Amino acid sequence: MIVPGLLALLPECRPRERLLSRGPSALSDAELLAILLGSGRPGQNVLQIAQDLLSRLGDLRGLGDAPEAELCMQPGVGQARAAVIQAAFELGRRATGTRPQRGRYLGNATDVWTHYRARLSASQVEEFWMLALDVRHRILFETCVARGSLTGVEVHPREVFRSLIRSAAASVIFCHNHPSGDPAPSRQDIELTARLHQVGELCGIKVLDHVVVASGGFVSFAERNLL
């Protein structure tokens, strides 16, 4: 029986060949995932499996946060392929900078500033990050929610809390940068934080702080009573 993998697709549709000819940025999320998976299963090619997996988990953040057991629930994805997916995401996290140790306690905004200042204060675009915490304020995971432009970044609360709910986070700290060098929160920052706080209350996930970092220092929403 022929397993419908990458070779079963038309040459112009094969993700690996498209990557080699056009570069990785030309591929969709599903095509990149298909390369990691390698092959399909009887009746379903590898690109279809990749598309189904992304659809079920919502997006790349959902895929990156999914535990092995959840990945293996997808037909055509076993332990070996789940391990490849998790390894790929871990490499990506490490490439973005030093990842806070899972289980590390975060006590105040200075701890957040210490971790993010090297990564974000020199960034030329706004990046919005979140730190998911357990009931003892220890780190469960961190992720970049969105990257924007020099002057702003678009964040959707529904997408933010999807992965927090999936990981059973008790609380969350948000952090983003101002490439301008001025950490003072904008009106848009304040309005977004208020929406995130409201959604958090509905979901039972407490927003502990939102820290804005820049080359000129940092501002804590909690310390300024803006939450």
> Please, what are the domains in the chain?
6-95 (1.10.150.20), 109-220 (3.40.140.10)
Quote the pLDDT of residue 77: 93
Chunked mean pLDDT (size 10), the chain, 227 residues: 49 75 85 91 88 88 86 92 91 62 68 80 82 89 79 80 90 92 92 94 94 90 91
- DSSP of the chain, one letter per residue? -----GGGS-GGG-HHHHHHHH-GGGS-HHHHHHHHH---BTTB-HHHHHHHHHHHH-SHHHHHH--HHHHHTSTT--HHHHHHHHHHHHHHHHHTSPPPPTT-B--SHHHHHHHHHHHHTT-SS-EEEEEEE-TTSBEEEEEEEEE--SS-----HHHHHHHHHHTT-SEEEEEEE-TTS--PPPHHHHHHHHHHHHHHHHHT-EEEEEEEEETTEEEETTTTT--
